[in-house]
Amino acid sequence: MLGLSPSRTLTEEARVAGLAWEQLPSPKPQLTLIICRPSGEQHLFFLGPHAPQLTSKEIDLLHHIWLELSCDVAPEELHHHDIVHFALGEVARELADGKREEILARLKRHLEEIKERRDPHV
């Protein structure tokens, strides 16, 4: 548990802690970081590999993609996690193929589009 730094945002503070976690020797423990604001409000961050906390909008999008594709691959069995794994693999392949700048441009566009929906305290 940490108090909020007066010189860093909540996100920056969590990132610094995450980068410090990355420097730990293996096997690295799974850690949960709690950053407390002076008001007593607490923010939870998971350090290291962890399942993401998906929003209902992300789950709806995942389900929509699954519905769109599941009939087309039948009789193969398709699960929601298969869609996630496939999408992550595609991004990894694009990175390996030297398309880092294209991916970063698309990611930055996405982050700009969702900026208004983000928690202003983070």
Structure tokens at 78: 């398709």
Q: What are the tokens at 2?
A: 């940490």
Helices within 37-120 (DSSP H only): 56-73, 80-96, 100-114
Are 29 and 61 spatial neighbours (Cβ–Cβ below 8 Å)? no
Q: What is the pTM of this model?
A: 0.74
- Over residues 8-31, the pLDDT tens digits come to 888 899 999 999 999 999 999 989
Q: Both tokens of residue 28?
A: 């690295």
Counting Cα atoms < 13 Å in the Cβ hemisphere of 10 gives 17
Question: What does the pLDDT look like over 52-111, one tens digit per residue?
Answer: 889 999 999 999 999 999 999 999 999 999 999 999 999 999 999 999 999 999 999 999
Which pair of tokens denotes residue 81? 């996690």
Determine the Cα–Cα distance for residues 100 and 94; give it in Å rounded to an integer. 7
